[in-house]
């Protein structure tokens, strides 16, 4: 077990430049897509994070082979020796559900443990199951496992009751090999979903977007290999932009996709920070000591990302005035509030809303991380909390952030990883 120790400084100003990693939520479906073909898939700009290790372990357990070389992974799944994603792996990472669609589509069978809930909510997968049933899969839920079978999936019209990122990704992958045409309605359009469709089309799939949230997929018999650069991580980028706004810093972020950041940049500018696009894929952030309060409501892309809610809440604790954050995606995504209150924040949760009163001076304390983005929020708070903040159970953080302490140290923060 490890922990992060941060020596906070209310006058800290981060400076210099930092390079963002590839998107965790883009690489996970891209790796799952390797199950759809017997040829090689080569993915570059991959983040070295725990979740990537977990899904590569799952691919190997299913019978695939992979080779990691720097920031590139090559995968090949000529056949499988198992069609089961164990509870142990699915419990470690609910995104393991992304092997369900590809396994049924290519091999006609999948046995995937039902992902449990997690710290941010109940996380059902009923929309994944309903969609695959529409494509002709026979699905039963027994002993905590999803048993899915289909001789060959058949194209159909599938309308998602609500926008689901991995649900859309599972159905895009399944429909790519189904017989005939599939229309997917009310799709999630997060950049990571769009990036998966780009990869699938490189593999020979026939996916086109008919409008903002409708995809038409003309099934093919077989998919081939492809090479693909994973998009950069818009949530890691957002996290570092908030670090700049929070510390009145002034630094450059490289390897970013500004076009994926519109809503986050708009809210940061409204809070008083300067955020400028510098060339093709770099952003400059310059924070202000005067942070303005504002209301935030999370919503599916292109709205304000739920994965940025906890981080932005930290910035709003330093704003003068009252801000209201409404979390509309998950039913329990305020676990970071109690820990922020221990650092001196004034936040009150009322149902799906968190009322943040600022400006509160934060002071360091021992805190515990509960999920990936809550952990990131505690790191941000520790930067500007007077004294020492110790963050325990940082394995959550390592699931989705690559060497966060090194990146922050490179910008001038006093933060180190120690044995717990
Ligand atoms: C993806 O999770 C991301 N994970 C999450 O990022 C992100 O928070 C979430 O999308 C929302 O943007 C990956 O991409 C690996 P959903 P996902 O299905 O696909 C409900 C992070 O921090 N729902 O879009 O699991 C669900 O309960 C992680 O990187 C159903 O009701 O989320 C939620 O309320 C956390 N039935 C809403 O839809 C279903 O079958 C959106 O969930 C599926 C979802």
Kindly tell me if the per-residue pLDDT of 116 is higher than 70. no
Start-end of H helices in 23-110: 24-32, 50-62, 87-92, 100-107
Marked catalytic residue, from 118, 220, 349, 365: 118
Protein residue whose Cα sits closest to atom 4 of ligand 1: 25
Kindly tell me if the per-residue pLDDT of 260 is higher than 90. yes
Kindly tell me if the per-residue pLDDT of 117 is higher than 70. no
The pLDDT value recorded for residue 409 is 97
The crossing angle, in degrees rounded to 10, of helices 165-176 and 191-202 is: 10
The pLDDT value recorded for residue 279 is 83
Q: Would residue 118 show up in a list of annotated catalytic residues for this protein?
A: yes
In ligand 1, the atom with minimum distance to the C-alpha of 300 is: 12
Q: Is 169 in the pocket of ligand 1 (CB under 6 A)?
A: no
Residue 90: band (very low, low, confident or very high) from pLDDT cuts 50, 70, 90: confident
Q: What is the pLDDT of residues 186-214, one digit of tens each?
A: 999 999 999 999 999 999 999 999 999 99
Residue 16: which H helix or E strand, with range?
strand 15-19
Q: What is the pLDDT of residues 337-373, one digit of tens each?
A: 999 999 999 999 999 999 999 999 999 999 998 889 9
Q: Is 25 in the pocket of ligand 1 (CB under 6 A)?
A: yes
The preferred substitution site among 97, 162, 165 for testing ligand 1, maximizing ligand atoms within 8 Å of CB, is 165
Q: Is 377 in the pocket of ligand 1 (CB under 6 A)?
A: no
Nearest to 329 by CA among 89, 186, 123, 38: 123
Do residues 343 and 367 touch, judged by C-beta distance below 8 A? yes
Q: What's the rounded Cα separation, in Å, for the pair 167 and 188?
A: 8
In ligand 1, the atom with minimum distance to the C-alpha of 192 is: 14
Do residues 6 and 415 touch, judged by C-beta distance below 8 A? yes
Start-end of H helices in 63-152: 87-92, 100-107, 126-134
Percent of the chain with pLDDT over 70: 99
Q: What is the pLDDT of residues 169-178, one digit of tens each?
A: 999 999 999 9
User: Is the pTM of the predicted complex or chain greater than 0.85?
Assistant: yes
The pLDDT value recorded for residue 280 is 82
Q: Is 329 in the pocket of ligand 1 (CB under 6 A)?
A: yes
The pLDDT value recorded for residue 301 is 98
Percent of the chain with pLDDT over 90: 89
Distance between Cα 72 and ligand 1 center (Å)? 26
Protein residue whose Cα sits closest to atom 14 of ligand 1: 25
């Amino acid at each position: 077990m490890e922990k992060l120790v941060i020596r906070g400084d209310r006058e800290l100003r981060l400076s210099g430049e930092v390079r963002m990693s590839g998107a965790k939520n883009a690489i996970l479906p891209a790796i799952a897509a390797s199950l759809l073909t017997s040829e090689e898939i080569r993915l570059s700009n991959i983040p070295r994070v725990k979740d990537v290790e977990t899904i590569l372990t799952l691919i190997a357990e299913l019978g695939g082979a992979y080779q990691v070389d720097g920031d590139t992974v090559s995968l090949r799944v000529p056949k499988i020796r198992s069609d089961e994603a164990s509870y142990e792996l699915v419990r470690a990472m609910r995104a393991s559900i992304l092997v369900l669609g590809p396994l049924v589509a290519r091999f006609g069978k999948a046995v995937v443990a039902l992902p449990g809930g997690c710290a941010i909510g109940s996380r059902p997968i009923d929309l994944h199951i309903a969609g695959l049933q529409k494509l002709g899969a026979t699905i039963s839920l027994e002993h905590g496992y999803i048993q899915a079978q289909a001789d060959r999936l058949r194209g159909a019209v599938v309308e998602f009751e609500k926008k689901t990122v991995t649900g859309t990704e599972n159905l895009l992958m399944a429909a790519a090999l189904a017989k005939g045409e599939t229309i997917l309605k009310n799709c999630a359009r997060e950049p990571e979903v769009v990036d998966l469709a780009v990869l699938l089309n490189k593999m020979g799939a026939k996916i086109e977007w008919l409008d903002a949230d409708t995809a038409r997929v003309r099934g093919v018999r077989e998919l081939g290999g492809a090479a693909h650069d994973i998009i950069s991580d818009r949530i890691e980028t957002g996290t570092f932009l908030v670090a700049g706004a929070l510390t009145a810093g002034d630094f450059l972020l490289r390897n970013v996709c500004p076009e994926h950041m519109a809503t986050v940049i708009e809210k940061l500018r409204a809070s008083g920070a300067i955020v400028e696009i510098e060339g093709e894929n770099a952003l400059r952030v310059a924070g202000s000591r005067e942070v303005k309060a504002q209301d935030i409501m999370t919503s599916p892309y292109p709205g304000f990302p739920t994965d940025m809610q906890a981080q932005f809440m930290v910035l709003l604790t330093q704003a003068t005035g009252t801000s209201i954050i409404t979390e509309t995606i998950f039913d329990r995504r305020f676990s970071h509030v109690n820990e922020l209150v221990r650092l001196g924040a004034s936040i009150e949760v009322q149902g799906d809303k968190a009322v943040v009163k600022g400006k509160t001076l934060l002071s360091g304390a021992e805190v515990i991380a509960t999920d990936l983005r809550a952990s990131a929020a505690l790191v941000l708070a520790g930067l500007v909390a007077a004294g020492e903040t110790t963050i325990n159970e940082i394995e959550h953080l390592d699931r989705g952030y690559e060497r966060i302490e090194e990146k922050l140290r490179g910008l001038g923060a006093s933060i180190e990883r120690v044995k717990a």
